[in-house]
Amino acid sequence: MKKNRNLAIFLVFAALVQVYVIYHFYQKSEKADREAIIDLKSEGFQRLSEGKYESALTLFGRVLDIDDRDTSALMFRGLAYQGMKKYGEAEKDFLHVLDIDSKKIDAMVLLGNLYFEKGENQKALESYLKAESTDAGNHLVPIHKAAYYLKLRMPDEAITELEKVQRLNPEFEYLQEYFGEAYFLKNDFNTAKIYLENSVSKNPGNQRTLLMLGSIMARTGDKKEACSMFEQALNSGATSAADSLSKYCK
């Protein structure tokens, strides 16, 4: 799984369903099975969050050995497959979830993300639109649609989706960053700067935000602040900031 937009999307998804993943179990299960499922999901989620996909795959597979209709285990095993670039297996798991529950929004969104990562943009959009038509009030959908439009450099469409997110979940962690990026793409640097500075205040080590702020400062001739942003981005692990530092600041 790519460690930029896709990772951010995954973290949003994971944060929203973590409690469900850890504590969900079927009432019909035996007590020992329920306890095993809870433990396996908890450990599997941790491995997945750490990018240890093969280990996560094994753990969620063991959950499915106990209950092969556990939709959360199928979705997270699919994410592990996706992280390993085994797209066919990931797609099968996400589609299997929809066979079990045809209105499972999470699976529709994850399918959209998978298709987008594969470069199948139309199929990705169709998955997002299907999720939207199933539950227009689910804020996961406009979040992912906004990220989709930003990646395609379609800022106006992204802003439309972000305004929906703002109404549904104004505290969404990446909302300020996404708005900032959208206005950056529109070359509305004053508005972008406001959103990006808000983002940095909430998440000081956000590499993308620091790089965009540095670029805005450089465009407006504020060399000192631009170099400060690039330096912070580099210290946060953004290796691309080294080029900006060497070209603009040295």
Whichever domain contains 39, its CATH number is: 1.25.40.10
Domain finish residue from 173, 204, 233: 173
Residues spanned by the domain of 229? 179-250
Could you tell me if 154 and 231 lie in one domain?
no
Could you tell me if 199 and 109 lie in one domain?
no
Could you tell me if 58 and 131 lie in one domain?
yes
d(CA 132, CA 134): 5
How many structural domains compose the chain?
2
Could you tell me if 160 and 196 lie in one domain?
no
The answer for 104, left when phi > 0, alpha when psi is -120 to 50, beta otherwise, is beta
Secondary structure letter of residue 135 according to DSSP? -
The answer to whether the beta carbons of residues 41 and 63 sit under 8 Å apart is yes
The answer to whether the beta carbons of residues 193 and 213 sit under 8 Å apart is yes
Could you tell me if 153 and 132 lie in one domain?
yes
Per-residue pLDDT tens for 201-249? 988 888 889 999 999 998 888 888 888 888 888 888 777 767 777 677 8
Secondary structure letter of residue 129 according to DSSP? H
Please give the model's pTM, rounded to 2 decimal places: 0.82
| Sign, Cα dihedral of 27, 32, 34, 35 | positive
What confidence score (pLDDT) does residue 26 get? 46
Predicted confidence band of residue 124 (pLDDT cuts 50, 70, 90): very high
Domain finish residue from 173, 192, 227: 173
Predicted confidence band of residue 19 (pLDDT cuts 50, 70, 90): very low
What confidence score (pLDDT) does residue 202 get? 87
